[in-house]
């Protein structure tokens, strides 16, 4: 099968690097065009990027040349799908422009997430919201599909199978790695040997997004804390339900939450529970198949009516790049791909 040509815009950042790594041997997609900021134009990827991932850079991407952002060139190269890993303020201009020009944009940025006609898609939890692309004019026009904020991605995965019990209240405190702030991100002066109890706009995003993704309306309490680890966000969660729920029912719900859409990037068991008292830990962030796409849960307990647990999500994979690639796979599976 001929592969579908895709672009990665913002390919040198933390999220863009994971896009490049995951797309290097993707069964359906092939990178035909990449961009970064102006200073890198015409440079080979390996010569200019500051590679952050704990694996060797795939050799197939090393000599890819960074292009100037130009939609005509993208069209000439046969690109139809665009993965956007741009900062929100740049995405706010670039993504609507790409959509108007007929591209199918899978975005990691928050710029358009809250628009009424733009889905925040997590295929395991809300696949039918993909049809919102018709409200954007598809198939006559392009569209933007976003993935959620990285903390929300882990939270949505862990609580989606618990919706059957009626979620009344969510109380979540996140312990977020430095890669969540991109590269170069925080100053080492600020984060070395330190914990910072505030991440701008993060708490508001979780509250808004969890309601939009899961179509639920609980009271949501959040604290977001930055911790000095490289990858993976841990979240301590307490839930209150409309009915009395036992820990065994929670474990059963997670175990029965199987891959229902058979996408290349969806793990067989997207939420993996382990009863060990020391699970999950941030250093497991790259575990699983595909690496970083599983959400890990542990420390399950009940106090009065409330259920508590801890989860781990890889912010750069399930929480961003991998999520957007999975969303593109979901689109191709559901709609096929019309190449004009
Ligand atoms: N990091 C996470 O865990 C995470 C999780 C979920 C969502 N997100 C979202 O994903 C997006 C990317 O995040 P990130 O962490 O990868 O950020 P990042 O490391 O700062 O990367 C930003 C990328 O955009 C490029 N860029 C910056 N300014 C540009 C401009 N004016 N024109 C063209 N390209 C420009 C950068 O190129 P240069 O390298 O040349 O500067 C780089 O490739 C953001 O919207 C972020 O909120 C991030």
Q: What spacing in Å lies between the alpha carbon of 182 and ligand 1's midpoint?
A: 6
SS3 (DSSP) at 338? coil
Q: Helix, strand, or coil here: 30?
A: strand
Ligand 1: centre distance to CA 16 (Å)? 7
Q: Is 239 exposed, middle or buried (0-12, 13-18, 19+ CB in 10 A)?
A: buried
Superfamily of domain 150-314, CATH level 4: Dihydrodipicolinate Reductase; domain 2 (3.30.360.10)
Alpha-carbon gap, residue 134 to 140, rounded angstroms: 9
> What residues does CATH 3.40.50.720 cover in the chain?
4-148+320-335
Q: Decide if 274 contacts 255 (C-beta within 8 A).
A: no
Report which ligand 1 atom has the smallest distance to the Cα of 69.
33
Distance CA 207, CA 109 (A): 17
pLDDT in tens, 248-289: 999 999 999 986 668 999 999 999 999 999 999 999 999 999
Q: Is 15 in the pocket of ligand 1 (CB under 6 A)?
A: yes
CA of 167 to the centre of ligand 1 (A): 34
* Degrees, nearest 5: CA angle 131-314-301: 95
C-alpha gyration radius of the chain:
19
Nearby residues of 189 by Cβ (< 8 Å), 6 or more positions away: none
What residue spans in the chain does CATH classification 3.30.360.10 cover? 150-314
- The CATH number of 4-148+320-335, from 3.20.20.70, 3.40.50.300, 3.50.90.10, 3.40.50.720, is 3.40.50.720
Neighbouring residues of 131: CB distance < 8 A, sequence distance ≥ 6: none
Nearest residue (by CA) to ligand 1, atom 4, is 180
Task: Mention every residue, 6+ apart, whose C-beta is less than 8 A from residue 261.
Answer: 123, 124, 127, 330, 333
Q: Is 180 in the pocket of ligand 1 (CB under 6 A)?
A: yes
With a 6 Å cutoff on the Cβ, whether 90 touches ligand 1 is: yes
Closest CA to 200 of 212, 186, 214, 220: 186
178 C-alpha to ligand 1 centroid (Å):
14
Closest protein CA for atom 15 of ligand 1:
182
Which residues of the chain carry a pLDDT beneath 50? 340
The predicted structure's pLDDT at residue 293: 98
**Can you tell me which atom of ligand 1 is nearest the CA of 107?**
10
226 close to ligand 1 (CB < 6 Angstrom): no
Q: Is the CB of 36 under 6 A from ligand 1?
A: yes
Helix, strand, coil percentages (3-state) for the chain, rounded to 5, are 35, 25, 40
The reply to whether ligand 1 has any atom less than 6 angstroms from the CB of 150 is: yes
Contact 232, 315 (CB under 8 A): yes
Asked if residues 239 and 156 have their Cβ atoms less than 8 Å apart, the reply is no
Tell the burial category of 24 from Cβ atoms under 10 Å away from its Cβ (0-12, 13-18, 19+).
middle
pTM score of the predicted model: 0.97
């Amino acid at each position: 099968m001929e592969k579908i040509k895709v672009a990665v815009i913002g390919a040198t950042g933390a999220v863009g690097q994971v896009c490049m790594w995951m797309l290097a041997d993707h069964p359906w997609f092939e990178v035909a065009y990449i961009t970064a900021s102006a200073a890198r134009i015409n440079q080979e990827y390996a010569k200019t990027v500051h590679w952050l991932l704990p694996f060797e850079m795939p050799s197939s991407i090393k000599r890819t040349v960074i292009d100037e952002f130009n939609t005509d060139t993208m069209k000439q190269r046969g690109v139809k799908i665009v993965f956007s890993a741009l900062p929100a303020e740049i995405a706010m201009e670039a993504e609507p422009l790409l959509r108007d020009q007929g591209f199918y944009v899978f975005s990691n940025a928050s710029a358009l997430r809250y628009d009424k006609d733009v889905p925040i898609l997590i295929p395991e939890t809300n696949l039918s919201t993909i049809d919102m692309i018709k409200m954007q004019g598809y198939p006559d026009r392009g569209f933007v599909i976003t993935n959620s904020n990285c903390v929300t991605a882990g939270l949505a995965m862990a609580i989606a199978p618990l919706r059957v019990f009626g979620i009344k209240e969510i109380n979540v405190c996140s312990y977020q790695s430095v890669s969540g702030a991109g590269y170069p991100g925080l100053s080492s002066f600020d984060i070395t040997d330190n914990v910072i109890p505030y991440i701008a706009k993060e708490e508001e995003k979780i509250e808004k997004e969890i309601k939009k993704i899961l179509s639920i309306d609980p009271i949501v309490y959040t604290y977001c804390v930055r911790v000095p680890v490289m990858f993976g966000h841990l979240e301590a969660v307490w839930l209150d339900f409309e009915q009395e729920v036992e820990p065994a029912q929670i474990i059963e719900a997670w175990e029965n939450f199987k891959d229902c859409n058979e996408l290349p990037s969806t793990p067989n068991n997207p939420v993996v529970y382990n009863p060990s008292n020391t699970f999950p830990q941030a250093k497991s962030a790259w575990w699983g198949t595909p690496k970083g796409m599983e959400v890990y849960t542990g420390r399950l307990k009940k106090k009065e009516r409330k259920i508590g647990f801890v989860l781990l999500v890889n912010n750069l994979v399930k929480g961003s790049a991998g999520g957007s690639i999975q969303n593109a796979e979901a689109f191709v599976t559901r709609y096929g791909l019309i190449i004009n």
